[in-house]
Structure 1
Amino acid sequence: MLRSFDYTLDYAHLDLRKHPELYRIGRGEQGVLLVEPYKSEMLPHWRFKTPELARASSDKIYAMFLGYKAAGDFVGMDMARKFLQMGYTRARRYANHPGGRKYSKEDGTVLPYGLDPLKAEAAAIFKAKWNLAKSDEDYLRMKREHQARWESGHDTK
């Protein structure tokens, strides 16, 4: 059975580049703002406010994805994939809801939908790079290997 993202680890003091065996992929963007040193490497480049910022940001993070790939660093690749996914989902939320808030603070109801075409364009830019990352053949192979080795409960080394 595959394990979900482990929120119990002390991520502030854990270097998952040195300990990839502790990394659990989880679902979607789980752990994207926890896993070091990757969070600190990518977060300064993560921007989605305008299409221009989204393009520069997604290009940089995708280049980092390719760098991690060249280094054989699956955890880095997966974290870059998560940052690209998060760029898409956050830009999309801001595209759909002014101020980025989907639910009312007062009663929790869904706030009115209002399309911001610039944020929608930023979301599309991130989505294109996210699609490249998540469909990369090497990424998919390394993901299967990581899951088989570390997330199945059996070390195959």
Structure 2
Amino acid sequence: MPAMADLPETEDGEYDHDFRADPEPYRVGRGEEGVFKVQPYKSELLPRWGYADPATAADAAESIYEQFLRYRRDEEFVGMDLARKYLQMGYTRAMRYAHYPGGKKYDADGTEREKVHWADPEKRKAALIFDHVLGRVEADEVYQTRKREWREQRG
């Protein structure tokens, strides 16, 4: 069975693979890895995701959490993990805007800009909403057990 990195990709950069039909190649990976590449979960989660302001973040985080619970009920670990990654991505993207005016972490020459506390307080509020829901997912005993088992069996 091929690992994720060995799977062919579409022109859009997604893996040319249905991870619901065949979840075996999925690897948990680091951080938000695979969030835009793993189908059909990307198509189910990305439309729910947004962080423009606290209200958008609250709607997005709750919608993604509800989808996480469906994946958990249906015993779809890959979906559960991707839902976690979308929540994490909501937090990290919103915090980037909270710390850096316009969300730009690097200058044109590639040097990292100085953090500002808080360049965008509304984005900080949005980030904290995602962080709260992410904490619920990461504390979920079913998720933790499945993640540990998945890593032990597949890496």
Q: TM-score, normalised by structure 2?
A: 0.89
Provide the C-alpha distance between the structure 1 equivalents of 2:51 and 2:5, rounded to a whole number of angstroms: 26
Map 1:52-67 onto structure 2 (within 5 A). Answer: 52-67=55-70
Structure 1 runs of 4+ off > 4 angstroms?
none
Q: Contact 2:7/2:16 (CA < 8 Å) preserved in 1?
A: no
Kindly provide the amino acid, as one letter, of the partner of residue 14 in structure 1.
Answer: H
AA at the equivalent of 1:110? E
Match status 1:145 vs 2:145: no
1:120 and 1:22 map into 2 onto residues whose CA distance is 36
**Partner of 1:9 in structure 2?**
7
Distance 1:72 1:108 in 2: 43
Matched, 1:119 2:117: no
Report % sequence identity: 47
* TM-score relative to the length of structure 1: 0.88
List runs of 5+ in structure 2 lacking aligned partners: 9-13
Q: Which amino acid aligns with 2:140?
A: D
Taking the aligned partners of 1:95 and 1:77, their CA distance within structure 2 comes to 27
Please provide the CA RMSD for this pair: 1.3
CA distance in 2, matches of 1:128, 1:57: 13
Instruction: Report the alpha carbon displacement of residue 8 of structure 1 after superposing the two structures with TM.
Output: 3.5
Match of 1:109 in 2: 111
Mapping of residues 86-101 of structure 1, within 5 Å: 86-101=89-104
Correspondence 1:48 to 2:51? yes
SS for the counterpart of 2:112 is coil
